[in-house]
Chain A
């Protein structure tokens, strides 16, 4: 019994770890390859979650839709809506210094949060959307369903990884790194810097939307509190910095590693005396904040540092 409990704890851990891995790959495209700062990860995550939830749930009076569409289409809708939001931010800010992008992205996350809380006809406000389907949930119920969902999540991780690797190795990826490392030189070489940055930001934002969609299907229920802005944004940044920005494998490793620290410390902090246990999540937050500082100062290249792709010459 103890063992099955542990097994399903691990399954749950790997599902959330996989969702974070997708977010890390997405941020790796934006920051690791493109050098674009995004402080609004939670916003893109949230719109993705709502887009997929609205697209796939059965029709309801309480919120927009639901349209009862298949889950893959829901995830595509999540990517599209988050991508459009990302396009709006990037369109305004790519020509300015990265600090402006940081401020604007945190702003768009806040606006999206306000819309989600206030526009009840779309989102059912704080009551949330329930009955969000999972893949194959007509066939399997209960705990085995978690296993199927685990497979789904990691298939998405694999797809995201392959896309990101292709982007990384392609001429497009090389151009992006050239822009990141020396924008003026890249511009002098005739590269359309703003257009490439815009593409990068949109691709990353769309992938963040997909991660949001996955989390909606995992929890089957979605309310504004599910997208706690700080937790998502901060954790993903720490994960990518610790894992190795610029390296997709590093992004996945960082995602799983920091998520392991986050979830396993919960086991220990829950055993603290009661007056401390209530504050345990703050202690863990503090720990994550300190890890970020440590990584930034001592460990900037991360667990798996960035590696240039091999040059393949054609004869």
Chain B
């Protein structure tokens, strides 16, 4: 049981936190701009590389240098929106999906050109895990990731329910026409969607990079479970996406635990298929997601 908590549950929550932070952005963009953002994983990659570059120059722990990655991710997301997505906003949204597909490629090839295609690590060496009550061994990174994600979830909830901008965002997600008739500044809402989505993506990217290493496919490889988390949580429901991310992370890790006998339940090489499987089941039986997102 202790082994289960140490080697499955805690890593699962970490993975879930990464998915959750990424899925919030996808869900908000889907809710407000109405398209599946295929380049969101690559925004994570850009955020990770931004922080990595800061680590090279400033001798501080990577998590304190997060603002550099966040800044770079926000700047790239806003630039991409301005140059590539905005001109297509009047067209059917599927064109923006195609465009974001191309943007994913652009981000990735830029990462490969600027930072090389090799795997790079934030910090060399192994850090000792935190040991609680002589039984729980939790790596410092996992503890930080889970705590920070929880704090972000609370902050995001307060922002969406209490602040004026947050409430306008929910209004636009619920009914864009009514929102614009009521005089809400849609462009401002869109700007904030990108800022929040890109910031959380950058944080998720750094967590993912710290957990293993940074490489140009870092974010793209996480895209599928994040889509699954978005659908699971209900589209346009940021808090639902967070819950969805945690659930998908848990499902992926726990499905490889040896519940019955010595063999793991499913082969670890099919771990990434679990998220997709959940997504397919949802699409068949409950496409609006667990939390009654909008069915489009």
Q: Which residues of A contact B (CB under 8 A)?
A: 35, 37, 39, 92-93, 96-100, 102-104, 106-108, 110-111, 114, 117-118, 230, 234, 237-238, 241, 279, 282-283, 285-286, 288-290, 292-293, 296-297, 300
Contacts and interface: CB of A to CB of B under 8 A. Distances in A.
Contact of B98 (A103, A237, A283, A288): A237
Interface in B232-285: 267, 269-270, 272-273, 276, 279-280, 283-284
Contacts of B273: 110-111, 114
A22 B109 CA distance: 27
Nearest to A103: B227
Interface stretch (B7-15, B100-108, B130-138, B181-189): B100-108
A238 B105 CA distance: 12
B102 A234 contact: yes
B98 A292 contact: yes
B296 to A, nearest CB: 4
B163 interface: no
Main secondary structure of the interface of B (DSSP, over half): helix
Main secondary structure of the interface of A (DSSP, over half): helix
Nearest to B94: A98
A99 B97 contact: yes
Nearest to B99: A296
A282 B283 contact: no
B120 interface: no
B224 A106 contact: yes
Given A97-B296, A108-B276, A286-B110, 9 more contacts: A37-B97, A110-B273, A114-B270, A114-B272, A282-B109, A282-B117, A283-B109, A292-B98, A293-B106
Contacts of A230: 105, 108
Interface stretch (B30-38, B47-55, B64-72): B30-38
Contacts of B84: 293, 296-297
Interface of B: 30, 35-36, 38, 83-84, 87-88, 93-95, 97-99, 101-103, 105-106, 108-110, 112-113, 116-117, 223-224, 227, 231, 267, 269-270, 272-273, 276, 279-280, 283-284, 287, 295-296
Nearest to B295: A96
Given A117-B269, A285-B109, A297-B88, A107 B94 contact: no
B224 A99 contact: no
B112 A110 contact: no
Contacts of A108: 276
A111 to B, nearest CB: 5
B108 A285 contact: yes
A35 B110 CA distance: 31
A282 to B, nearest CB: 4
A39 B101 contact: yes
A308 to B, nearest CB: 19
A126 to B, nearest CB: 12
Nearest to A230: B105
A85 to B, nearest CB: 13
B287 A96 contact: yes
A296 B287 contact: no
15 contacts: A37-B97, A96-B296, A97-B296, A98-B94, A99-B36, A99-B97, A100-B283, A110-B273, A111-B276, A114-B272, A117-B269, A118-B270, A282-B113, A288-B105, A292-B102
Contacts of A92: 280, 283-284
Contacts of A292: 98-99, 101-102, 105
Contacts of B36: 99, 102-103
A102 B38 contact: yes
Nearest to A88: B280
A114 B272 CA distance: 9
A100 B113 CA distance: 32
Q: Which of B35, B106, B279 is the most central at the interface, judged by chain A CB atoms within 10 Å of its CB?
A: B106
B113 A286 contact: yes
B30 to A, nearest CB: 7
A35 to B, nearest CB: 8
Contacts of A114: 269-270, 272-273
Contacts of A35: 94
A289 B276 contact: no
B277 to A, nearest CB: 9
A157 B38 CA distance: 31
Contacts of B30: 99
Contacts of A279: 112-113, 116
A255 to B, nearest CB: 17
A166 B113 CA distance: 45
Nearest to A109: B224
A285 B107 CA distance: 10
Contacts of B284: 92
Nearest to B95: A296
